[in-house]
Chains A and B, each alone.
Chain A
Amino acid sequence: MVVAFAILAAWELVTAIGVMASRRPIYNALSLVANMLGLAVLFLLLNAQFLFAAQIIVYAGAVMVLFVFIIALLNPQMDITLSRPSMEWAYGLIFGVVFAGLILALVYNRDLTGIPGPFTPEVIDAFGNVQILGAVLYSRFLLPVEVTSVLLLVAAVGAVYLAARKIR
């Protein structure tokens, strides 16, 4: 288990660096696909098979395919060049160091226990993965689910308004 996690964590790091290191947008997007696939396997390690499938179908599948298509439709050969590299690099460096320091402080902190939730692997095995997710989603998180539907409606209205070629 620990070994699998270590390999996956390394995979995630490498692909995450790939997202920002390459100057070709298409390689950035493909690295992001690889990163999301790794994340899906992490879900699998945590006994969340449904999330594993959803992550692959929705993110690595649908969302990223759109990304790759859009990049291919634009100019995939074009390199990204930063016009004024100096200041951006300085800001990024300062921010990166502070961020790394915070994460390090976390690693050396002894209180990283968290409080375990009610859904242990045994409980999930007894009731079934999808059943529990559905039950929680439509009881404890009923209102958030409903608000999400409004959110999607607003997104659709906004996207149609901005993208429509001609409005009455």
Chain B
Amino acid sequence: MIVNVNAIGIDYTTILPELVVTGTAILVLILDLFIPADRRRILALVAILGLLGALVASIPLWGHNKFAFGDTVVGDSFAAFFNVILALTSILTVLISPRFLRARQLDYGEYYVLILAATAGMMLLAAATSLMTIFLGIELLSLALYVLSGFARTQLRSQESALKYLLLGGFATGFLLYGMALIYGATGATTLRGLALVAGSPTAGGNALLLLGIGFLSVGLAFKASAAPFHMWTPDVYEGAPTIVTTFMSVATKAAAFAAVGRVFVAVFPALQYRWYVPLALIAVFSLFIGNLVAIVQDNLKRMLAYSGIAHAGFILLGVLPGTPDGLASTLFYIAAYAVMNFGAFAVVTSVGARGEETANINYWRGLFYRRPFLATTMTIFMLSLAGIPPTVGFFAKLFVFRSLVVAAQTANSGQFWAPLIVAIVMTVVSFYYYLRVVVVMLMTPEGEVTEREPVGASMGTVLAISAAATVILGLFPGVIFDWASTAAGVHL
């Protein structure tokens, strides 16, 4: 049997962003051996340069549709869109990391290696067009995040967070793999191209093996996106992990998971939309209910934001439901908006809680406007945006998702899209309570003496200013990002 490796289409430009990030991770790992402990800022700098390189390497993929390595990955606008979001998130995370890590005596080079590895896994997931690469992307990002959750390894909360994430994550991976095995059994294909061919045939809708496989696959992906009822791990892991890790994880993991959801459901199985609509709509509705209702009673800000993240997973999923590129465009816009505003919100929590984790309790935030006006102002912007109040980007994110459902209901001329839409609108109103509560608490008169604890720091100040500015500016001019999202959503196989 003669093997021609070149026949599978070796094209390094399609996976250049992933290669650059992985290469940087290995470089950081080696540099860590030679750099003295008090100069580890250099590692952060190297990581940022590598991520910037990946960002630049993603841009040439825009507008192309280059399949490579035996159809296991693709370089297209969709992948480029996510690469940019993921690289920017990682850059911002690394920018605010050194100060936080030093304060908690966690300043080890492994942190940057793991952040870079997780980013590489997420980028691979966004570009994956085969069940194998989807699985490996998820595993790569998960493995790095398991360790990062337990990065404060002497703290019991962090250990508990890592162990919970590992055990439940392993369980979810089992579902994911089982689903993939069933799909392979039904279709004989591992590449999404091959799957789309089979899924397009008229008998596919009656193939129980395929449908059950898709069901298990969605369970695994919904777990990573922390959508209800597969969200149980989210509050505990978000609360226990070091806040800086939570900041990165809450934004980037959700984006990467929804990249896979979007590609699988909208590009591969659009013909089976009538089959997967109800289960996916149920997941969205569950997430909206559980996320928003449980967030109301949370007194810990990290837990509140975790439940808000579950709720937002529901909103993001709404755009996938129509199974059309138009709907996917609104989902992509929402992911970009969520990345900006949620990253900012968690970054403020990081900055306030740089000394210790008990500051995540809402009581500590009383009168923050008088103690630390800059942090309180930016937090207000992020809260208003998460609630979806104009002129912030969060408003347009919700508007576009709702519009895509209305359009889908009109074109399909069926009532099925109205139910999730109504739930989403009611739950948006409910969410005002717990987002605005934070603002109100920050405005209250402080109980103790007004003292400035410590300055925000130049890098944190810059990152917060960028996030807050982006939240408002993208809210004033949402058209630019939405045009990009529309182009990226036109995924082809």
A interface, CB within 8 angstroms of B: 102, 105-106, 109, 111-112, 114-117, 127, 131-132, 135, 138-144, 147-148, 150-151, 153-155, 157-158, 161-162, 167-168
Contacts and interface: CB of A to CB of B under 8 A. Distances in A.
A135 B120 CA distance: 27
Nearest to A140: B70
B108 A144 contact: no
Given A144-B130, A150-B117, 14 more contacts: A111-B208, A139-B7, A140-B8, A140-B70, A141-B132, A142-B5, A142-B10, A143-B70, A147-B124, A151-B143, A157-B113, A158-B144, A161-B147, A162-B153
Contacts of A151: 136, 139-140, 143
A111 B69 CA distance: 32
Contacts of A102: 212, 215
B209 A147 contact: no
B132 A111 contact: no
Dominant secondary structure of chain A at its interface with chain B:
helix
Contacts of A135: 1, 3
B67 to A, nearest CB: 12
A109 B133 contact: no
A114 B188 contact: yes
Contact of B143 (A109, A115, A158): A158
Interface of B: 1, 3-5, 7-8, 10, 15, 22, 26, 29, 37, 69-70, 72-73, 108, 110, 113-114, 117, 120, 124, 130, 132-133, 136-137, 139-140, 143-144, 146-147, 150-151, 153, 162, 185-189, 198, 203, 206-209, 212, 215
Given A106-B209, A117-B188, A147 B153 contact: no
A150 B150 contact: no
A168 B140 CA distance: 26
Contacts of A109: 207-209
A88 to B, nearest CB: 13
A161 B108 contact: yes
B1 A111 contact: no
Given A161-B147, A162-B150, A168 B37 contact: yes
Contact of A144 (B110, B117, B133): B133
A111 B209 contact: yes
A155 B110 CA distance: 12
Contacts of A115: 186-189, 198
B1 A131 contact: yes
B133 A157 contact: no
B110 A161 contact: yes
A106 B15 contact: no
A84 B146 CA distance: 27
Given A109-B209, A158-B146, A147 B3 contact: no
B216 to A, nearest CB: 9
Contacts of A114: 185-188, 209
B206 A111 contact: yes
B132, B137, B151: most-surrounded residue (chain A CB, <10 A): B132
A117, A131, A138, A157: most-surrounded residue (chain B CB, <10 A): A157
20 contacts: A111-B209, A114-B186, A131-B1, A142-B5, A142-B8, A143-B15, A143-B133, A150-B140, A151-B143, A153-B26, A154-B114, A155-B143, A157-B110, A157-B117, A158-B110, A158-B146, A162-B147, A162-B153, A162-B162, A167-B108
Nearest to B204: A111
A112 B8 CA distance: 30
Contacts of B10: 142
A19 B4 CA distance: 44
Nearest to A134: B3
A14 B113 CA distance: 44
Contact of A139 (B5, B162, B212): B5
A115 B3 CA distance: 23
A106 B208 contact: yes
Contact of B140 (A132, A147, A162): A147
Nearest to B71: A140
A131 B2 CA distance: 10
Nearest to A154: B117
Contacts of B5: 138-139, 142
A8 B208 CA distance: 25
Nearest to B32: A168
B120 A150 contact: yes
A117 B140 CA distance: 28
Contacts of B110: 157-158, 161
Contacts of A111: 186, 203, 206-209
B440 to A, nearest CB: 36
Contacts of B73: 143
Nearest to B185: A114
Contacts of A144: 72, 130, 132-133, 136
B70 A139 contact: yes
Nearest to A107: B208
Given A102-B212, A105-B208, A158-B143, A139 B153 contact: no
A141, A143, A161, A168: most-surrounded residue (chain B CB, <10 A): A143
Nearest to B26: A153
Would you list the 3 A-B pairs with minimal beta carbon distance, nearest first?
A115-B188, A158-B147, A109-B208
Contacts of B8: 139-140, 142
Nearest to B153: A162
A89 to B, nearest CB: 17
A115 B197 CA distance: 12
Contacts of A127: 1
Contacts of A150: 22, 117, 120, 140
B72 A139 contact: no
A67 B69 CA distance: 36
Nearest to B69: A143
Contact of A138 (B3, B29, B124): B3
A131 B7 CA distance: 18
